[in-house]
Structure 1
């Protein structure tokens, strides 16, 4: 069974390894370029500042790393669609599965060998690219921060490994149900994309209890990029960030010392259009705001939880596939 599976899988494997090798070579070159730029921007003498270095690396590599990250996340989706989806669907569609089953190979063993080998190959391929991107982008991530950013978090370290396992198992299970290769490929890509959109918005923020903090508004303080906006007569703080943390409160009302939103009269009094005067006015009112965030030291906790979430989903689908395969395929 192992030899037969490798023979059937060799064409997809060679194409995938070839594409991954090209991307891996580019990531090595990119990593060396980022390190040279980092050394030049940070160690340029007394006139250098970290803000200037951040601006330089951000302008030079933000788009490039964003596209590379997109490819890393896309890789498990393609593996699921082109490796996982045809794994069973193509066999059933063409009827070749009957030949193996008539040779005394049980359906469970047939599925276990095929699914195990392809899943392992997908994990190895994804891990290689994820490790290389994490290494290449490490100076950038160290300087810029934002490891919890939804465009960065799923592209680094161990989270993509869970995506690869899930994508292969999902493609195989869907193929077991539809028995049509092209349909399975489309459904696998759709399911993977939907999960990548829904999970960060609905599940990931709640994987660990968020920390709630009250922040005093002080005139002249940067407050990590926070700004005041007026919405419906309510003064709200937007854009507040904590270095390295994942701030969940993107917009929060300015409150008085009693914890109630500032009255409309106070907001009208402090909204003159002169920024310095407005800040001094809000400070005189002893305004504060409440934010919820996941601290920076929970980054690896969330990486492991993300990986575990996708592994559990994959395990549930695999259990269903092994339950289903002896039924309804005669």
Structure 2
């Protein structure tokens, strides 16, 4: 069964090997170039766009693995009826599917692991200076988490092909599902892997001017884009008064729309001065950068666990379905 699976997988494997060699050569060259920059402080500005582009492309890798490696492997056999030949040779259905899942999962983990390791190495000097290790896009292209994404995408593709029994629909479904998972996990699950640390930040005029945005379309007293050095800010409370109550919309609106004219400069100018006089603060929840590897291992375990559940579903289904 292993030999047969490898023979069926030879063309996708060849394509993956070519991708691995080309991407690996590029990342080795990129890492060498990064390390020749004499002033490390310039690295984030010089390579920020490159890192985002690479991370964005890397985020598509699990979806591509699931769609082009996973979905066709079983769905094509079911479409063509070749699975019956194997089953009639006394090969148990579960073994037939388990071997396919094991072989392709190992291949997906190898490709994603090597590419992830190379990108982590190449980007290390940039990451050290930028300090933004939990960025929604960048986090998923570093460390061990990409291995979990790839195995999850692969197993989802195989099981989707088994359930839908049509190659093209299975490819479309798994591609969309993996992309949605890549969007949902960083925003809905990752901030809550561990209880966040918290800090109260006085909202002086200078602090208000360091924010990236202020207010909302409904006029609520919210502030966004505040940073904690060496940490990923996961939640910012509305503006609060000294007694802990939320600043009223009316008071916020007065400062936001018609503050006293002082000639102040800065991002928010007179609005920042007006708010700074109200003795306000916000409560921030954050995950410190020292938890980066803990979160990496948690995310790896999360995706491998999901892949295991999907594999169990596939093994249960293949035993019950008719030929």
Q: Say if 2:280 is the partner of 1:287.
A: yes
**2:294 maps to which residue?**
301
Task: Find the aligned partners of 1:207 and 1:292 in 2 and give their Cα distance.
Answer: 13
Question: What residue ranges of structure 2 are gaps of 5+ in the alignment?
Answer: none
TM-score by length of 2: 0.89
Is 1:247 aligned with 2:233?
yes
- Measured at CA, do residues 172 and 287 of structure 1 come closer, stay the same or move farther in structure 2, by a change above 3 Å? same
Q: Which residue of 1 aligns with 2:39?
A: 41
- The aligned runs of 1:1-330 (5 Å cut-off) are 1-37=1-37, 40-42=38-40, 53=41, 56-220=42-206, 225-226=210-211, 229-231=214-216, 235-249=221-235, 252-262=237-247, 264-265=250-251, 268=254, 271-272=259-260, 274-275=263-264, 279=272, 282-330=275-323
* Larger RCO of the pair (alpha carbons < 8 Å, separation 6+): 2
Contact residue 234 and residue 261 of structure 1 kept, 8 A: no
Structure 1 unmatched runs, 5+: 43-52
Asked whether the equivalents of residues 131 and 230 of structure 2 are also in contact (C-alpha less than 8 Å), the reply is yes
**Deviation at residue 272 of structure 1 after TM alignment:** 2.9
**Separation in 2 of the partners of 1:6 and 1:266?**
65
Q: 1:99 to 1:233 in 2, by over 3 A?
A: closer
CA deviation map 1:200-221 (0-9, x unaligned): 222222222222321123354x
8 Å Cα contact 2:221-2:252 kept in structure 1: no
**RMSD value, Cα:** 2.2
Cα distance change, pair 269–322 in 1 and its aligned pair in 2 (3 A):
closer
On the 8 A contact 1:224/1:241 being kept in 2, the answer is no
Shift of 1:78: 1.2
Residues 230/92 of structure 1: CA separation in 2 closer, same or farther (3 Å cut): closer
SS of 2:254's partner is helix
What is the deviation of 1:223?
A: 7.6
User: Is residue 62–residue 153 contact of structure 2 (8 Å, CA) maintained in 1?
Assistant: yes
Tell me how many residue pairs correspond in the alignment.
314
Most deviating of 226-235 and 281-290 = 226-235
> In the superposition, relative to structure 1, how do residues 34 and 224 fare at CA in structure 2: closer, same or farther (>3 Å)?
farther
Over 3 Å counting, the alpha-carbon distance change for 1:282 and 1:182 in structure 2 is: closer
- Decide which moves more: 87-96 or 267-276: 267-276
Contact 2:71 2:157 in 1 (8 A): yes
TM-score by length of 1: 0.88
Would the aligned equivalents of 2:60 and 2:179 in 1 still touch at CA under 8 Å? no
Encode CA deviations 1:31-81: one digit per residue, 9 max, x unaligned.
Answer: 1111112xx114xxxxxxxxxx2xx32332122111211222222221111
